[in-house]
Amino acid sequence: MDIRELGSIRKEIDELDRQLANLIEKRMELVNLVAGYKKNHNIGVLDSSREKEVINNVLSQVKNPELKESISSIFQSIMDISKEYQKKKISINSGIKKYALIGEKLSHSMSPKIHELYFKKANIEATYELLELSRDEIPHVLTELSLKGYSGLNVTIPYKTEIMPFLDKLSDEAMRIGAVNTINLDGNFTGFNTDYFGFGRALSFYGAEVKGKKCAVLGSGGATRAVVSYLEDNGAELISIVSRNADEAANRYPGKPTINISEFKAEGYDIVINTTPVGMYPNTDKSPINREQLIGAGFVMDLIYNPSETLLMKYAQELGIPNCNGLYMLVAQAMSSQEIWQGKKIDDEIINQIYREISHEN
């Protein structure tokens, strides 16, 4: 190749660069329209499935296999720049508050709908996103999201305990339970556990009194701690832990009577609470205990909300035992998070309205 050929190639590259600049400008104008739509409909910026679809479509047009990796990197950069542009348009320039749920698998989460209903009722301009994270992102995520303008986060499995070392402060109930599901990013990174309050509000909604009552908690995992802490704080006379491994449960909850789940009988218990995932979609044909074991219970609460009626609840219904699922608790814990982020009490009637709307949709 001589100098004249090099000059010709460079001119061709320059012309292609001008065409690319025009195409990228048009693309960003469309991104701007997308940002406007997301702002008006309280939709989060991140859409991982859409990103993958775009990259795959682009790579399907590349004929030279040697260039696929480089072209993939270029378009990933374009996608990243587009996301940052959208975030600026949605939040920084408009003053919209940003919140998110972080976890590992979030595609079926009802949290965005619940929080969006609250934003609408409270006339708050805000977005609520689902951010799926890998474990290696946890150490840096709080700082990164704070810098990007997020005001608060919810946390779900499996990161409720893993996020704790990176917090500046814990509320009393979060410290006692050993898990957080809500983080305030304004100022210090402070962790809270609103499952505690959501559970209590759900019991009140259904008229289940705790003080002086005998309670059996099915399960001994993370969700159990919030339930047990609330029952302790509100004067339950007896709290029995019912588990597949009673010895292990005894170590986790010292001082509490523990019962192997196969030997458990609900007779004499005022409240039975299921904190296990047994019976959750898609395994809806299962129950942590059988129908005969449930005989004699005064009230049954299943923290599962999908399906809306679990097999355990069907047993309770057949036996004439008042019962409920965990949907009200889900709504109530979300509103407890909002109380932390917004710095004000939310009226119970607002929570009830959101619960009724969510129930109607599901």
For residue 130, give the 3-state DSSP assignment: strand
Alpha helical stretches, state H, the chain: 3-40, 48-59, 68-87, 111-122, 138-147, 172-177, 195-205, 222-233, 246-252, 291-294, 311-318, 327-342, 348-361
Structure tokens at 163: 């996020």
Q: Which helix (H) or strand (E) holds 323?
A: strand 323-324
How many contiguous H segments (helices) and E segments (strands) does the chain have? 13, 12
Length of the chain in terms of residues written: 362
**230/203 Cα distance (integer angstroms):** 11
For residue 300, the tally of other CB atoms under 10 A from its CB is 27
Q: List Cβ neighbours of 312 (8 Å cut-off, separation of 6 or more).
A: 274, 279, 287, 288, 289, 294, 300, 302, 323
| Catalytic center residues | 160
Q: What share of the chain is helix, strand, coil (3-state, %, to 5)?
A: 50, 15, 35
Contact, 266 vs 249, CB < 8 A? no
